[in-house]
Amino acid sequence: MWSGRALVSGRAALHLYDEAFEPPPTVDVTLPHGSRVRAPEWVKVREQAPLRAWSAPGGVRCVLPERALLDAWHRAHASLGRDLVYRALWQRVFTPGGLARAFATTPRIARRRELAALLADFSAGATSPLEVMARREVFVGERFADFEWQGEVVVTGTRRRADLLHRRAGLAIELNGLRYHGGAEGEARDRRRDAEFAAAGLTTMCFTFEELRGRPDWCRDVVLRAVAARLEPEISLSAHGARWMIPHQL
């Protein structure tokens, strides 16, 4: 609105596409090469070839959401950039395929290999942005070497897959959230899945996007405690200075 030719990009555009994204202190805009403008301090201008495709969420001209994410990634710290990708995909601001196509046509972008590797997880079969985040940010390292991603279980002749499976401990980890599992139909599907896992001798633990993003240490801790409780007859754990025992059979 400050300039009739400008397109809002970066985190400001993401905020306009979905208010779940916080408004940034400065607004990134793009203008055609050769534009001579005096921008206010809260506007950061980048000149580039004119973009043919744009949208207007809330009546404000913006680059397409995939391009806005790539601009935000380019300017953001590495950890913030990854979080923006996970959140945008989880909010369904765009699809993994749409982001991959925009990425392929963007010649210069910071940490290009890192973003390419993240997008490769989707083409390799990851079922949701929550699974990619869990694989890369949460359930990682040697302590999770015995877990199987998309571990297959056969129940009464039917093949089921757990998002994360510890076969020896009989523990299935499911990554759920309202965006992908909401509504009565989704809840009924999850109940049937948990019942079939129980019939196969598996205990199911479920984590949401908000838990994995906001409390990753807690998620790791409770999963490892659950595994230990099933693999050892008796384990002594310390919590807040107190000692308590977990039996083998829960």
pLDDT tens per residue, the chain (250 residues)?
Answer: 666 788 999 999 999 999 999 999 999 999 988 777 888 889 998 888 888 889 999 899 999 999 999 999 998 888 889 999 999 998 899 999 999 999 999 888 999 999 999 888 887 767 688 888 999 999 999 999 999 998 998 887 788 889 999 999 999 999 985 444 456 676 787 788 888 889 889 999 999 999 999 999 999 999 999 999 999 854 444 444 444 344 433 3
Q: Is 72 left (phi over 0), alpha (psi -120 to 50) or beta?
A: alpha
User: Containing domain of residue 190, as a range?
Assistant: 137-247
Give the bridge partners for 157, in sequence order.
none
Could you tell me if 107 and 35 lie in one domain? yes
Has residue 130 been placed in a domain?
no
Residues 103 and 142 in one domain: no
Q: Within a domain: residue 239?
A: yes
pTM: 0.74
Return the structure tokens found at 204: 């199911």
Let me know: does 57 contact 18? Beta carbons within 8 Å.
no
The answer to the question of residue 106 being in a domain is yes
